[in-house]
Every structure is written in C-alpha cells, then in structure tokens.
Amino acid sequence: MAEKGKIQEKPNLSILAMISFIASFIIARTFTTINPDTVLTSGNYHIHHFWFGIALLAIGGWLGISYQNERTDRLAAILFGAGGGLIGDEVGLLLTLENYWAEITYTFIIIVLTFASIIILANRYHKVIRTEFTEFLRSNASLYISVFIAAVSIAFILETDNTTIITVSSAFAITACIIILAYFIQRIRTKH
C-alpha cells in the first residue's frame, strides 16, 4: 500500500493514452480523406468530430479522477487519448475557422507527440538521465559544447531584429551559461 501523501505512478497509462491519441487521429484523418462529403448536421448546425473529442476527454478525465481501479484507469487513458486525437485532427479547422487541411494540424500533432514522448521517456528513465547529465556536466565536453552554443546564440541575437529568434537564442545562451557555471563550480568543488 502506498504511503499517505505519496503520489502513485501509473507508468503504462501515458503510453496507452498516446497510442490511443495517434490511432484516433489517423482514423479520423483517413475517414475524412476517404469520405470528405460525410457531414453530421442537425438543423442549421454542422457537428464536427472535435465535439466528440471534447466529450471523450471529459469522460476519460472524470473516470481517471473518480475511480482507482486498473481496468477503469486503462479505459480512462484510452478515452482521454482518443478524445485528444479527435480534437488534434481538427486543429487546422479550429484555428483557421475554415481550412480542415491546414498545415498547422500536422505541426501541432508533431509537437504534441514530441513533447508527450519526451515526458514519457523522462518519467520512465529519470534516474538514468540524471546520472548521464551529471557525468556530462563533469566532462570537458560540456564546457566546449556550452561555449559553442553560447557564442552562436549571442551571434544570432546580435544579428537579428526577429523577436522569436532573439527569445529562443537568449534561452539557449542562458542555458549554456548555466552549464558553463555548473562546470566550473563542479571543478572547484573537486579540487577542494
């Protein structure tokens, strides 16, 4: 039994939700590609499948927070992922209000899947990542790579007026400087 106040992990559910997300996105996109004229209408309303996605998200979320049972948790993860996939399929339509096939949909899906994968892997392998990162900070490679990243980032900042490039380059430069500082602090500590 878990200690009181300690968070219990459910490691397989995030992967199950991501698989469900991908599957529902692919199924919705395939169905719409094969049957572009199939539209659910009620009176003057055109009902898009993102509404079903919102319902599935709500049901999956409610089941996930209301019950603590392995089978119910799996069902909640599947419903939550499927709902997210149906909404993700219509991101282009939701953002442009007219273009279901907007390129932003694919960009959104790639970003969501990338961040979900990173979070799942970081959660699963956080001890190994921490050990590897600590070893990296102790190596000379961290100093060389960080100096390179800081120099290139500062060059980008000085050469542009683009706010996005300045923001991203500043974040890289600050991160590189923190790693350089951590490298020297580590070196000072090991000498004493």
pLDDT in tens, 81-102: 999 999 999 888 888 888 888 8
Query: So what's the pLDDT on residue 1?
Result: 47
Query: So what's the pLDDT on residue 63?
Result: 94
Domain ranges for the chain, please list them: 11-124, 127-191
Q: Determine whether 48 is exposed, middle or buried from the number of CB atoms within 10 Å of its CB (0-12, 13-18, 19+).
A: middle
pLDDT of 191 > 50? The answer is: yes
Q: Is the model more confident about 5 or about 181?
A: 181
pLDDT of 153 > 80? The answer is: yes
The torsion region of residue 113 among left (phi > 0), alpha (psi -120 to 50) and beta comes to: alpha
Q: Does the pTM of the predicted model rise above 0.85?
A: no
Q: Which percentage of the chain shows pLDDT scores above 90?
A: 41
Q: Across the chain, what does the average pLDDT equal?
A: 87
pLDDT of 9 > 50? The answer is: yes
C-alpha 77/C-alpha 73 separation (Å) is: 6
Query: So what's the pLDDT on residue 35?
Result: 83
pLDDT in tens, 100-141: 888 888 888 899 888 888 888 888 888 888 888 888 878 888
